[in-house]
Amino acid sequence: MIPLFFFFILSKALSSTDFFIDPPLWFSGFFFTELLLVISGSFFGFYKPSIKSIFFINYTKLDSDNFFFIYLNMKSVNFFSYEITLEKDNFFITTQYEIRNIFFSRSRTFDSSDFFYLIMPDRFSNFFESLDSIPMKYFFILNRDNPDASFFGDLLGIQNHFFFLEELGITALCFFPVLENDVIGNFFHGYAATNMYNFFPRFGTNEDYIFFIEECHKRGINFFYDIVFNHISSFFPWMLDPPTKDFFNNYDKYTTTHFFLSAVYSPYASFFDKNRLTTGWFFFSMPDINQRNPFFAKYLIQNSIFFFEFADIDGYRHFFYPYIFPEFMAFFTKEVTEQYPDFFIVGETFRTNPFFLAFWQENSKFFFNNTYLKSVMDFFLMEIIHDVFSFFDRMATVHEHIFFDYLYPNVSNLFFFAENHDTDRFFFEEPTDLIAYNFFMTLLLTIPGIFFLYYGTEVINFFFKYITDGYVRNFFPGGWKNDTLNFFIPEGRDELRNFFFNFLKTLLNFFFGNKVISEGSIFFFYPIDGIYMYFFKFENQSVLVFFFGHDSDHEVQLFFYQEVLEEGTDFFNIVTGEELNLFFSFTMKARDVLFFELQKSLIPVTFFPVPSPDDNNNFFVIIIAVVCTAFFVVIAAIILAVFFIRRSKNSEINFFLSAELNTQNYFFPYSLGIFLKNFF
């Protein structure tokens, strides 16, 4: 049952005589022409609607007396303001409903050269302190000493630090859910929506978001934010009076999900397990919504499309993706991508299993139909790399994981990341060196896929999930007026943080728009003596990456990699800018990462001492030459032995068998011949 205090708190909100229309406005020119309007208000289910110049498809009274739905045909509707009339017992209410033109001028492409930056707005930066006290229905706790309280970061605070984001080199900004979360307590993370069409006022107004996204686009930064279709808040106005009886899952009996995600794809999963996974509640304050209800399915699809047009959003990250009915999510994604082919949707598929992750991607070999989902997040790689870089000599584990890429229909759209808001930070405490961090980041930036950075990683935010997730969602130092530390500027960062920030910035700026990583061919070499190497090539550009995991310096033999290296090549260190002329080998320092761009040398250099520089099989030529030489030496020895055997006759054999044999008086071929003759 619903907790009683929710009924007490929400009952007042439901007594209003005002009415609401969702969506608050709409757009003409879509491929799909059917529009669903949800009219809600006290006893508004008894009203009958009419709209001039727009054709009604259907008018539906619902289970609740406070709702009704209208389906409208928008095929020939132009942008305009239309009058909606509601009538009951000769009492009339009129309101204006706005129709705008859709905006088609976007052109979006995303690939491995993109760099996504994930921000929790409440924790990044505060500028408008007046927003902290903006009136809401329910109280919030503002306390930066409490990791689970609200810190009241806002949009303008983020906007004031565009200089930092641009210097770092990001190409896409992603926010945690930013819709209104007007609840009791602390839902700073945004996962408990109380209004599906309003941004959270303490971050900024809807108009503030439009301006913010415009500023992003001016700087060449795409804008994403998280959406949640799995649940809403217990404080949502419809909670105590749902439009239909099946609007919520398990409405009459609180039931949690079991989190066993294998139930989605397992051929042996019971109906009970499949059903509980997708209908169980995440938490008692987050009721699970029923996407199999056709009204609400339509409502959710319209809600997501609304913000594409209203705010010019470039994409979504879908949270709790596997917990939603997969058939609905496939239908939703297909509808959206048919209207917006370049629109990018990422699914948060929290599972450390590559087969499970590949299951969800568009055109998967494993999904029972098609998800139409362009991208998924590789949680498995994040987990194994945390383990591998605690033990540097296990690079083969990474190598084996990368070869699971054959499972994915499009590995270039796979998202890689070092940290996440639901997992421990990479460092539990202030680090003394950055060897592991450099390993981790270089790998994530150079393997096929899209890099996803959780805010604070670039300035080495550290901690772990101590009791609560709030500790890994800590604030960004320098984002509040009274902060003693300011990591947004070089002067506020220590030497270690500046080194890593500049290291990351250098790599990101090299990759931006660089097709050698996003479109180039890639060759991986199995780790040899602790050295892991892979190679990219696109047209005339080549990049070489070396990892070395042992505790002492080591000589790297270039002979092993000759199939991808050309003669007359200089090695240009992308991080340091140093240019090297390498011949047969070079020395790598302990636990080092080297990142080279190969360039044609003015002086021809031969890497390998081989007989024929034009022969692509030099290695095999050398092996054959050695074997043939050894063979002829043995034959020559046997011939000499036979010659001496014939001269010695039987006396030498008897002497050979004699106990008084002095081997110092007989050279090897002679003695060998005697022995062979005696043996045979």
The winner for highest mean pLDDT among 154-168, 373-387, 617-631 is: 154-168
Q: What's the CA gap between 16 and 41, in Å, rounded?
A: 7
CB 530 within 8 A of CB 554: yes
Q: Which residue has the higher pLDDT, 104 or 510?
A: 510
pLDDT band at residue 670, thresholds of 50, 70 and 90? very low
- Report the pLDDT value the prediction gives residue 647, as an integer from 0 to 100: 53
Is a pLDDT exceeding 80 seen at residue 363? Answer: yes
Which of the two residues, 358 and 187, has the higher pLDDT score? 358
Tokens of 218: 């001016």
Q: What local confidence, expressed as pLDDT, does residue 581 receive?
A: 78
Over range 162-171, report the average pLDDT.
Answer: 96
Q: Is 59 exposed, middle or buried (0-12, 13-18, 19+ CB in 10 A)?
A: middle
Query: Which letter does DSSP use for residue 412 in this model?
Result: G
Q: Does the pLDDT value for residue 673 go beyond 60?
A: no
The model's pLDDT over 447-481, given as tens digits with 9 standing for 90+, comes to 888 999 999 999 998 888 777 888 889 999 999 99
Q: What pLDDT is recorded for position 168?
A: 95
Q: What strand order describes the sheet that includes 541-548?
A: 521-528, 531-538, 541-548, 593-600, 569-573, 579-580
Q: pLDDT per residue over 74-104, tens digit each?
A: 888 887 888 999 999 989 999 999 999 887 5
* Cβ count within 10 A of residue 665: 8
SS3 label, residue 407: helix
Angle, CA 444 vertex, CA 439 and CA 447 arms, to 5°: 115
Nearest to 183 by CA among 236, 118, 121: 236
Is pLDDT at 286 greater than 70 in this prediction?
yes
Q: Residue 124 — very low, low, confident or very high, per pLDDT cuts 50/70/90?
A: very high
* Cβ atoms of 176 and 225 closer than 8 Å: yes
What is the pLDDT at residue 441?
87
Domain residue ranges of the chain, discontinuous segments joined by + = 4-101, 115-265+314-513, 520-600, 629-679
CB 269 within 8 A of CB 262: yes
Burial class (CB in 10 A: 0-12, 13-18, 19+), 206: middle
Tokens describing residue 313: 């959003």
Least confident of 237-251, 379-393, 530-544: 379-393
Antiparallel, parallel or unpaired: β 315-319 and 344-347: parallel
Question: Under DSSP, is residue 573 helix (H, G, I), strand (E, B) or coil?
Answer: strand
**Residues 474/461, Cβ–Cβ less than 8 Å:** yes
When pLDDT is cut at 50, 70 and 90, the band that residue 114 belongs to is confident
DSSP state string for 64-114: STTEEEEEEE-TTPPSEEEEEEEEETTEEEEEEEEEEE----------TT-
Distance CA(546)–CA(502), nearest Å, equals 20
Q: What is the pLDDT of residues 516-551, one digit of tens each?
A: 888 889 999 999 888 999 999 998 889 999 999 888
C-alpha span between 337 and 323 (Å, rounded)? 21
Mean pLDDT of 601-629: 52
Q: Which of the given ranges, 256-260, 487-491, 629-633, has the highest pLDDT on average?
A: 487-491
Contact 448, 411 (CB under 8 A): yes
As a whole number of angstroms, the distance between CA 257 and CA 164 comes to 40
Three-state secondary structure call for residue 302: helix
Class of domain 115-265+314-513: alpha beta
Residue 677 predicted with pLDDT over 80:
no
pLDDT beyond 60 at 233: yes
- Cα separations (Å) of 430 from 426, 433, 444, 494? 11, 9, 22, 12
Kindly tell me if the per-residue pLDDT of 7 is higher than 60. no
Q: Higher-confidence residue: 158 or 108?
A: 158
Question: What tens digit of pLDDT does each residue of 139-148 get?
Answer: 777 888 898 8
CA distances from 406 to 181, 230, 331, 364, 370 (A): 41, 30, 26, 11, 18
What pLDDT score does 620 carry?
54
Say what the pLDDT of residue 514 is. Answer: 81
Task: Report CA 232 to chain centroid distance, whole Å.
Answer: 24
Q: What is the mean pLDDT of residues 645-649?
A: 54
User: Which of the listed CATH numbers 2.60.130.10, 3.40.50.800, 2.60.40.1180, 2.130.10.10 matches domain 520-600?
Assistant: 2.60.40.1180
Instruction: Provide the Cα torsion 353, 359, 364, 369; round to 10°.
Output: 170
Question: Strand runs (DSSP E) across 238-284, as ranges?
Answer: none
Contact 154, 128 (CB under 8 A): yes
- 669 pLDDT higher than 50: no
Contacts of 432 (CB under 8 A, 6+ apart): none
How far apart (Å, rounded) are the C-alpha atoms in residues 307 and 442? 35
Q: Confirm whether 115-265+314-513 and 520-600 share one CATH topology.
A: no
- In the predicted structure, residue 382 carries a pLDDT above the cut 60: yes
Omega before 23 within 30 of 0, i.e. cis: yes
Residue 337 · residue 298 · CB < 8 Å: no
Give CB contacts under 8 A, 24+ apart, made by 432-438: 433/496, 434/460, 434/496, 434/499, 434/500, 434/503, 435/392, 435/591, 436/389, 436/390, 436/392, 437/500, 438/500, 438/503, 438/593
Q: What is the CATH number of domain 4-101?
A: 2.60.40.10
Q: Over the Cα atoms of the chain, what is R_g?
A: 34
* Residue 251 main-chain phi, psi, to 5 deg: -65, -35
The pair of three-digit structure tokens given for residue 594, joined into one six-digit string: 């080297």
User: Which string of b and e fits 351-383 if b means at least 16 CB within 10 Å?
Assistant: beebebbbbbbbebeebeeebbbbbbbbbbbbe
- Please list, in sequence order, all residues whose beta carbon lies within 8 angstroms of the beta carbon of residue 235, skipping any fewer than 6 positions away: 6, 9, 10, 137, 138, 182, 183, 184, 192, 194, 285
pLDDT band per the 50, 70, 90 thresholds, residue 652: very low
67-73/55-61 β-pairing: antiparallel
Strand (E) or helix (H) holding 317:
strand 315-319
